[in-house]
Each structure stands twice: as structure tokens, then as C-alpha cells.
A and B are shown apart, each in its own frame.
Chain A
């Protein structure tokens, strides 16, 4: 499958500091690529370069087959962009904004009006179409931003943290729309700091930290790199030492969370559960609960960066970039 986005050694320096340090990635046509990282990791800077809003200081990239530096206008004609801050004029109405976007994309008046009406209906904003954007909720603004990005039916769509700050219902609405677009063939480059979002939507995930890609692959591949799933046992009564001895014969024991829990890594996932249950039963150990825990993208993130993404305890790299 041809690549919609090819990035080779992309760099961006701000004075003496490098915010993006030699990023390489490839996104196939029709793929949803999740670009995952904490605040300041270099996600937005990368997206700004790929959308021709910022010139790279090193490396190269093509989007929809066009070089971002030498064919910027062709890139801009091929992409839709919904930026992090939902760059909307609060004094415009939703309808005015989409019509303006259609004009900017060179769509003639009557066709622009038709597409605006159709998109407003698609994102469920018909009732609010003639209200000023300043009166919209966060979810409505995101939906409008998405609709504006789609007015020229782009082949590649960049969504920069499209659900940040949204409630779960609004988030799900955006996710559904992204899936629908993707099913229609649109390539989606999605930056996010939500692990669940990347897990739910992305075909491939790139994890960026301090301006560098530290891991890349499908969510399943990345999780598989971390290790096997484990069974978490909560004991009702009986000796924990005995339970650990029983489980050692089945899999590898992991450090316990507390005095009543046993964690055992198993090779075959759910298929190993009956063996564990039988062995504990034969040993007379009563179990209060048993759960199969699979590795998450958070585990992947911790393994690759040393900290949890959603706690976001690390100093943002974009605000204090590493020295060149």
C-alpha cells in the first residue's frame, strides 16, 4: 500500500534547542496513525511541520506525495487540519466558518454552501449553525473544527489532540466520526495524550518523547513487546505463600501489589485460567476474584520512557527542549 506520509530525519530547532530530533515514520494510505506523547514531547511541532505551518530545520517529509517544503501548497490542498486549540473565531457562526473554509479551498459558492449544509448535518450542528461559535460547548467546537477540516474532502486528515478536555460522550462522538472517515478511505494522523484513544482508534502507534520516536508499531505489537498477560488473584483465605508456590508451577510470579494478591504471568492468556483455578482448588485455596490483565499502552509507555503518560509528571520537552 502506498505511503500517505513519509517522514525522514525530521528536525526542528528553536534557536539553540531541538524540539524534534530526527523523527522517522511512515503512514500508509487509509491508516489511522496515533502519535502518542506527553505535553511538550514534540507532537504538535511535528504536526505543524507536516501541515506546512512550520518549516523543518532538518530532514524531509512528504504528505500525499508532496514535499512539505518545496510543494507546500500542494500539500495544503490535500490535507485537512483540525488543530489543538480548535482555532475558531468566536464571532463567526458555524455556517459562516465552514463557508469561509470552502472558499479558502477554492470551492465555488453554491457548492460550498451545499457542502457546509451537509457537513453541519453530519456533525449534528444544524440547530446551532447560525449561532456564534463563542456560544458553543467544547464538544460542539471540536465537531465544527472537524467539519471545517473536511469541507474539501481531504485525502489526509491531521487531528491534533481532537478530544483533549472533552467529556466522554463528546469524545466518543469524535471517535465515531474518525472511524467513519477512515472507513471511507481517509488517512488520519492523530496526535493524542490519551492512551485509550490511541488504543481504540489507531492502526499504528508512534510514541514520541523528548522529540524522538521511542516506539512504533500496532498497539498489539507494542503490548506484546512488553510481555505476556498476567492473572491477578485476590485471595479470600489461605496462605499467600502456598498460593504463590502453586502458581509458580504455572507461570512466572510478578511482584505482589499487597498481602492478599498474587500476580502470575502466563504464556497462553485466558487459556491458562482453568489450570490456575484447578491448581488452587486442589490446594484448598479460596479465591475471591480472578482477573486476566493484559499489557496496556501505558505499560508500553512506562517501559519505553520510564514514566506514566497520563500522570504526565515529566517536564514538558517542548517547553524545555533538550539541547542540540
Chain B
């Protein structure tokens, strides 16, 4: 096997372990699936009339609008859960087992991120299924659904990279878990759950510059109106920026951890 193939095989194996770990630890899977599903149910059940507000984008139903928000929440919490799981690995010494193997050490981070991305994918499929079961239409059809899924998938990897960086830097599951409320605040200060045009200041300005707004719109557009190049490119750019930031932070944190032991 070539070096690339060997490393890809290692990343895949570590990603599979990461996925199994999440499904075997209820406190890791709950934020990814159960919480966003409950919030989706509460919001669509209690605030469905919001679609009639002046300035609300034209949508088939409030559920159709909210699916992107639920996917974003699931994706963000998948990134956070990935960070928590990595910190748990550090706390119990499992990363020492990985670090003592003859593999590129960044493959350990990439393996974790591969698992997080897969969980993001799972979340996207889950919410598409819920949307379709409860009558939401996907205006962009199958290509639109695939595009939205790919964006959620890549976003989970991006956010997971930041979670991994914090886990590597602190080595503390409690610290990473403590970011849970912050994750929600950042998400609520984007257009994931509410149209930016209807927000009041300063949330409106913050949302205008929040990269998560670009991703949310990129995920939402294929559902509510069809594939749109501008929204897609903005979402891709936001994801790339977060990926770059997250991977740089992770690489620095990894070097720090290996230096201090």
C-alpha cells in the first residue's frame, strides 16, 4: 500500500472508532440528534405563524425553513461532541496509545474529524427524513438535497476542527463541554433559526458577519428555493475559512501537547 493509502486507511479506522464511540455514549449522541429534533418540534409547533411576518422569505412551510437551522444545530453540536470525545481520550490516556504508533500524528486529529463529519452527514440525513415525513418539500430536488448535505458534512468537519483544537490545548472534557452554551449563542446570533432581515440590532449586524449565517443560507436555499450559486459559494467560503482556522489551531495545539506531554 502507498503511504497515502495507508494513512487514508488509518484515518478511516480512527473515524469509524469515533462514530462507534459516539453511538455507544448517549451523552455524545443526544446533542446531535435528540436536542435539535426537540427544538425543531417545539419551534415548528409553537412559532409556525412566523412565516406570515412581513419580510419572511417565501417558504412552503415553517418546517421547510427550520430544517436548515436544525441541521446547523446538529452539526455544531457534533463538532462540540467530537471535541469532548477527543478530550476524554486525552484524559484517559487513549491518545498516548495513538501517539505511540508509527503514524503521522495529525492523522489522529483527521481521524477524529472524519468521524465528526460523518456524524454531521448522519444529522443532515436524519433531518431530511424528518422534513420529508412531515411534508416539507425540497425545492432543489435531489441535487439540492445532496448539496445541502455536503455543506452540512463539511461544516461539521470545520467546527469539529475547532473543537479538536480546544480539546488538544486543554486536555479537559469539562472545558470543551463548557463551550456547549457558547455554541448555541453563536448559532442563535446567525440566521440559522430566523431570517436576518427580521432581526433587531445588534443581533442583525452580528448575524450579517457571522460565518454561520452564510453556511445556514447555503444549506437553506436548496430547500426553500433551489440551488443558488451565490449562496453556495458564500457558504463554501465560510466553511473553508473555519476549516483553515480550525486546522491551524489544531496543528498548533497538537504541537503544544506533544511538547509538554
Tell me, yes or no, whether A binds B: yes
> Which A positions have Cβ atoms within 8 angstroms of B?
14, 45, 48, 51-55, 73-74, 76-77, 79, 81, 83, 85, 87-92, 96, 100-101, 103-106, 108, 132, 148
Are B99's CB and A103's CB within 8 A?
no
Q: Which residues of chain B from 67 to 124 have any CB-CB distance to chain A below 8 Å in the complex?
A: 89, 92-94, 96-103
8 residue pairs bridging A and B, Cβ less than 8 Å apart: A73-B102, A76-B102, A88-B92, A91-B20, A100-B14, A103-B13, A105-B101, A132-B24
Identity of the chain B residue whose Cβ is nearest the Cβ of A19 in the assembled complex: B261
Minimum CB–CB distance from B167 to chain A (whole Å) comes to 15
Is B17 an interface residue when CB atoms closer than 8 A count as contact? Answer: yes
Are B20's CB and A92's CB within 8 A?
yes
Are B261's CB and A48's CB within 8 A?
yes
Report the Cα distance A104→B94, complex, angstroms: 13
Minimum CB–CB distance from A210 to chain B (whole Å) comes to 19
Minimum CB–CB distance from B201 to chain A (whole Å) comes to 46
Which residues of chain A are near B93, meaning CB under 8 Å?
Answer: 83, 85, 87
Which residues of chain A are near B10, meaning CB under 8 Å?
Answer: 103-104
Are B89's CB and A89's CB within 8 A?
yes
Most buried by A among B25, B99, B258, B260: B99
> Which B positions have Cβ atoms within 8 angstroms of A?
1, 6, 9-10, 13-14, 17, 20-21, 24-25, 89, 92-94, 96-103, 258-261
Report the Cα distance A322→B93, complex, angstroms: 26
A106/B92 contact (C-beta < 8 A), A91-B21, A91-B24 known: no
Are A104's CB and B24's CB within 8 A?
no
Report the Cα distance A148→B96, complex, angstroms: 13
- Per a CB cutoff under 8 Å, which of B1, B92, B100, B259 touches A52? B100
Q: List the 5 closest A-B pairs by CB distance, nearest first.
A: A87-B93, A104-B101, A54-B261, A77-B102, A76-B102
Report the Cα distance A73→B259, complex, angstroms: 16
Which residues of chain B are near A87, meaning CB under 8 Å?
Answer: 92-94, 96-97
| 20 additional contacts (CB under 8 A) given A53-B261, A83-B96, A88-B94 | A14-B260, A52-B99, A53-B96, A55-B258, A74-B102, A76-B102, A87-B92, A91-B20, A92-B20, A96-B17, A96-B20, A100-B13, A100-B17, A101-B101, A103-B10, A104-B10, A106-B1, A106-B6, A108-B1, A132-B24
Which residues of chain B are near A83, meaning CB under 8 Å?
Answer: 93, 96-97, 100
Report the Cα distance A48→B96, complex, angstroms: 9
Report the Cα distance A209→B127, complex, angstroms: 60
Minimum CB–CB distance from A265 to chain B (whole Å) comes to 46
Which residues of chain A are near B96, meaning CB under 8 Å?
Answer: 53, 81, 83, 87
Are B100's CB and A51's CB within 8 A?
yes
Report the Cα distance A83→B176, complex, angstroms: 25
Most buried by A among B96, B100, B103: B100
Which residues of chain B are near A55, meaning CB under 8 Å?
Answer: 258-259, 261
Are B92's CB and A85's CB within 8 A?
yes
Identity of the chain A residue whose Cβ is nearest the Cβ of B25 in the assembled complex: A91
Minimum CB–CB distance from B148 to chain A (whole Å) comes to 31
Are A89's CB and B21's CB within 8 A?
yes
